[in-house]
Structure 1
Amino acid sequence: MRIAALVLMVIGSINWGLVGLFKFNLVDAIFGEMSLLSRIIYIIVGIAGLYGLTMFGEKEIEK
């Protein structure tokens, strides 16, 4: 579960980096601008980010 959340957080951060640097949204480019599928992906990435907050305060992240 943690690995999946980490992968989704990395994907989200890369997408935001592309938006900030080049004004290019990779998710929208692949799935269509604000299509239902892209919105679902944003929701899943957001949930992964919230789950990632639970990793703060832990001394070691288990695999």
Structure 2
Amino acid sequence: MAKKEKDGIGMAAKILLLIGGLNWGLVGVGGFAGSNWNIVNMILGSWPQVEWVVYILVGLSALWMVKDMYM
């Protein structure tokens, strides 16, 4: 894979992990507050399939970053 392509995928992975991490943090804080602070669900709740795709992309991004750590 070309370096430029790999850098683009890496940047997308970092952005998705940032979104995912912030979302999970808000889910945790919202749990203690007795509220649903799942931002992805609030934005995409009416399109559950799209919401699931976002979660899958965040998970794949984590795998990509693990791969980068060991290569």
Q: Please report the TM-score for the alignment, with normalisation by the length of structure 1.
A: 0.81
2:51 to 34, 38, 43: 38
For the pair shown, which has the larger CA radius of gyration, 1 or 2?
2
* Corresponding residue for residue 14 of structure 1: 22
Q: Where in structure 2 are there 5+ consecutive unaligned residues?
A: 1-8, 32-36
TM-score by length of 2: 0.73
* Identity rate, percent: 34
Q: 2:66 — aligned with what?
A: 53
Residues 46 and 33 (structure 1), Cα distance of their counterparts in 2 relative to 1, 3 Å cut: farther
What's 1:3 paired with? 11
Q: How many residues align structurally?
A: 58
SS of 2:69 mapped into structure 1: coil
Q: Which runs of 4+ in 1 moved over 6 A?
A: none
Match of 1:61 in 2: none
Indicate the structure whose relative CO is greater, using CA pairs within 8 Å and at least 6 residues apart.
1
